[in-house]
Amino acid sequence: MKFIKNTLDKMRPSFEKGGKLHAFHSLFDAIDTLMFVPATTTTKGCHIRDAVDNKRTMITVFIALLPALLFGMYNIGYQHYLSIGDIVAGDYCANFWNNFGYGFLKVLPLLLVSYIVGLGIEVIFAQIRGHEVSEGYFVTGLLIPMICPPDVPLWQLALAVAFAVIIGKEVFGGTGYNFLNPALVARAFLFFSYPIQMSGDTVWIAEKADAYSGATPLGEMIAGAQLPSASIMDMFVGFMPGCVGETSVIAILIGALILLLSGVASWRVMLSVFAGGAVMGLIFNAVGANDYMNMPFYYHYLIGGFMFGAVFMATDPVTAAHTNTGKYIYGFLIGIMAVLIRVVNPAYPEGMMLAILLMNVFAPLIDYYVVDANIRRRAKRAKLVNNK
């Protein structure tokens, strides 16, 4: 530790103003503060401060994402070997290390591209603006690969990451100022720019054999199936084709537990997304005009990205509603919209991404009316006094 500290201290002068490497001072700061919580002390106001900082908050989300990521890797391998006939369906543990190794090698390049491109841009912006590199991309960089199909071309991913970081976040001022969830901006960019690689029945299993059906449960439903072909147990555990990190409900629930116990994600948002999804699902059950509408409402939790979106995307504090009352409304409408888009819209099988992006746009409006109620209450009180 002492050695690292000394090395960093020795290097610092050349990165300071006037030093040879001043052009890279943001990168140096980022590494320095990553290694050591700085010795800065309070100057104004409260003399002591909570041990929590944004790094800590972000690492908590990062840890919460790991179960879904690791399971996602395993599932990629499992789906691949299943499709080429090396294993038989239902034999989940055979070929364990091959499955995981295959998935790991598939996902690793995605992660590398995401982090190198994204952090590179973040560092450049921090350098230009003269502030520290923010931790937001720590999580976004992991989220983006997790909501992509395993075979997404790396150059497309790189473009999407660049678009998300620059247009989704940095043009508004960086982490904390953006109004759209940057990871979803990347997903939407890919979805609308490269639909061939992002939709259909062939992209969800890595290097799948041509003869094997690679339809996701969502795809089957939109194609008119009565119910998804995968069993409830398979969908709950996560053995179905889909994006890297979205398939396993159980792994996502472990993440949700971490987020809720640590208090990092808002339970209000999470709960109301599920409530909204259930309400809309039940309404469709009541209407019952086709097989999709008749699908039991809890299937919506199991298929596609509903679970992942509810736990990791909708709860992003920056782009969600900021007031507690607003969070209920925001989450509830996400649930409603996601199921509505899934069932009624023929073009987009997955409604979660669009629902969250849509409500990101409306979150400030929701907050406006919630805060306005407080303003009115205060104005009314003042009026009462004046009338006396």
Partner 1 sequence: MSKAIKITKGLDLKLYGEPMPEVVETFVGEYALKPKDFIGLIPKLLIEEGERVKAGTPLFYAKGKEKVLFTSPVSGVVKQVKRGAKRVIEEVIISADETIEYLDFGISDISELAAEQIKEKLLNSGVWTVLRQRPYSVVPNPDTTPKCIIVSGFSSAPLAPDYSVLLKGLKAELQVGIDALKKMTGVTIHVNLPAQKGKSEELAQLQNVQINTFEGKHPCGNVSVQIEKLDPINKSERVWYLDAQDLVVIGRLFLEGKYNTERLIALTGQEVSHPQYYKVRKGANISSLIYNNTTAVDLRIISGNVLSGTRIEKDGFISAYDNQITIIKEGNEAEFMGWLAPGTKKFSFSRTFLAGFLTNCCNRKYKVDTNLHGGRRPFVVTGEFEKVFPMDIYPMQLIKACVIEDIDMMEQLGIYEVDPEDFALCELIDSSKTDIQDIVRNGLELMRKEMGE
Query: Among residues 176, 195, 296, 364, which is the contact residue for partner 1, using CB under 8 A?
Result: 176
Dihedral pair phi/psi, residue 117, rounded to 5°:
-65, -50
Name residues contacting partner 1, limited to 298-337 (CB under 8 A). Answer: 317-318, 320, 322-324, 327
Give whole-number Cα distances, 209 to 17, 110, 112, 180, 346, in Å.
57, 22, 27, 37, 27
Size of the site for partner 1 (CB under 8 A): 63
**Minimum gap (Å) between residue 267 Cβ and partner 1:** 10
CA angle 366–370–374, rounded 5-degree value:
160
Contact status: 10 vs partner 1 (CB under 8 A): no
Question: Shortest Cβ distance from residue 176 to partner 1 (Å)?
Answer: 3
Whether the Cβ atoms of residue 163 and residue 186 lie closer than 8 Å to each other: yes
Instruction: Give the shortest CB-24-to-partner 1 separation in angstroms.
Output: 18
Q: Does 179 bind partner 1 (CB under 8 A)?
A: no
Per-residue binding letters, 235-264, with partner 1 (x by CB under 8 A)? --------------------------xxxx
- Residue (of 272, 271, 273, 295) closest to 283 by Cα position: 295
70 binds partner 1 (CB under 8 A): no
Contact call for residues 234 and 240 (beta carbons, < 8 A): yes
Q: Per rule CB under 8 A, is residue 127 in the interface with partner 1?
A: no
> 154-166 vs 96-129: helix axis angle to the nearest 10?
40
| Residue 2 or 17 with smaller CB distance to partner 1 | 2
Identify which of residues 93 and 375 has a Cβ nearer to partner 1 in the complex: 375
Distance CA 151, CA 161 (A): 16
CB of 83 to partner 1, least distance (A): 39
CB of 119 to partner 1, least distance (A): 16
Give the separation between CA 315 and CA 330, rounded to whole angstroms. 10
If we measure between CA atoms, which residue out of 237, 243, 223 comes closest to residue 352? 243
3-state secondary structure of 91: coil
Residue 46 sits in the site that holds partner 1 (CB under 8 A):
yes
Q: Give the residues lining the site for partner 1 (CB under 8 A).
A: 1, 4-5, 33-57, 59-60, 132, 134-136, 173-177, 261-264, 266, 268, 317-318, 320, 322-324, 327, 367, 371, 374-375, 377-379, 381-382, 385-386
